[in-house]
Structure 1
């Protein structure tokens, strides 16, 4: 990974807007260097180069049905009363290389995906024949699947066919030299399937970034363990690790770190070896035990003068305190988020998710945004701050409703939300029916 090396100016009393902070963060992030990966390891990654089609797909004419490969003229007059009687000269299974030649008055038994044999012009589905039994279509289906390989016998065709019927033409999917996938394509299951069908075992991609998530606080207890006085379960590290994975990253959760600056510094240094991004939660405000700020404000510069973390105040609610810097010899981005669960999640969506997707080389780095009419009034919003309220969005009606109030500790309402409702800095309230911006989380 590469980032710019200029140090951010020392922190001042300046209050950053959301846009200013985001611009500064993303301005220092560059996509990860491309690597060659096996197809399944490349799932979720972004293609670096366009992929041309090396050979036609499918590579040969083949049958789309179980049935009989025939010449069109031989079955032109076929009907239930007067079927066309053809001599079966052989069987063609998928993967067959030695193909029988279908001459006048002849047919070859053929399976789905098998190559169309020389001389044949179309495929008669087995349901349109007697299957060589001299009986009806139902018996034909059973006989076709049970018939031993080899030539011999006759088949009665009960319907005519047109040329190329039930034949998948060579190159009907893609032709040699065409563009299979464009550079910048995210590789999902269908794209992986196409690359495999084209015979490519590896592909050059931007790798998924490795994100290390760490929460801080001596009061935090691992879920599944009992709580003592004044303790709470650590939800932030789970929430942020899941959010990083949802954004496309390979995410590692580190157990909660106690409120001790030396312990935190040591933990962060230990994680640098496996991190493309470091994310912490908690300890970034102005309290006596805000350990992240204490540990990293005087981080100093390494031998190359590259390590620094700035702590900022943003004109937003929730999420006012934020930290950002580049640390260690590889200038690993570190984003220090607030500790309240809602603040941490909103901050992740606005700042960390775009970082992850920028590292991946994605173009769609931000969540989609739409305009919607508010169905409930917001009587008070802090002047001069951009407020992000948990909300429920109705796409069909084009409406949005806030959920659970503005408290940044109310994680239950966050679990029900599928959007963030945005109240602009110059608005101190929102009336019913007023149009607002909505960040879609689903």
Structure 2
């Protein structure tokens, strides 16, 4: 029987959940304080990362931990006043990154990643989303033979176990692929499976238009106002109170504003990230996204210009932006590419929603009938939105899910 459903959060995950449910005939209301795609889905590397079968572990090497602790790097930066609140989830993150525990987590994570291209294309084919998807992969560059060889060995393992495809480029092949690079690198891995998206916000908007065209509804509202209403749920919106039999929390890093009042506080934390677009000088171009291992940031060609993205900033999710990493990365990026003037006056900032065991939270909300979780995707919400949407929809309809949802259940915390 059709259900009435409120989906809280209109990023890639929330829009995907809403679209899957609507295609199953349910009456779906999508609610967010902003327009679709204006949260963390707006600012990312624009990659649907089929190669990312291993989540980001907490560093285990002492020298690496000390490097980050100095707080001088591009890839990681922290606010001292944020550390007390982050201590417990980060310690659990470190514990779960122990090699044996991490191997089991990565196996469960890979099951989701392996589906990502099929699920995105199932939405995009035959729509105005399709031109945004560029099957060009991305390139990771290395400065020395030892580091490259270790990365190739790991890539070969990914190919054997999870079907990840790649090419190894020597310095000449890399220069041919990206002729406007200003520095020579020893070699690179070209991940050939991932899809590069020329406008990440545009892709979320395209999926949101599909949802609306197929009879779904969107309204701005306050997700934190979610309360039990009889046997269902109620939330305050710009059109007044809205009620439904079931609700899905897809609020990313802000999910705890809804979950904690309802008695559920999993070990989650936010990683803030920044981006800024730049023009290229003269007729220079960047053909595909590149990540320089030595510099630890991504440069990606977008509609708006070349997007420079940063690593992880550990800070309170509601604190003002502090684009320290972007300031550190820009001069280094200018030694790699002939970047021109920035496109925007100010950088963009968003928050990635992370869990202490690196797996998203997908499934029934503990102890609350008719409430579901779809958050905690860390760096891969953009990649895994359609996969999560399908998984939640199948679970809500009582079907056998196409992926075993056990590793992602909410009550594991």
Which TM bucket (shorter chain)? Answer: under 0.3
Q: Which has the higher contact order (CA 8 A, sep 6+)?
A: 2
Q: Higher Cα Rg: structure 1 or 2?
A: 1
TM-score computed with the length of structure 2 as normaliser: 0.22
More helix by share: 2
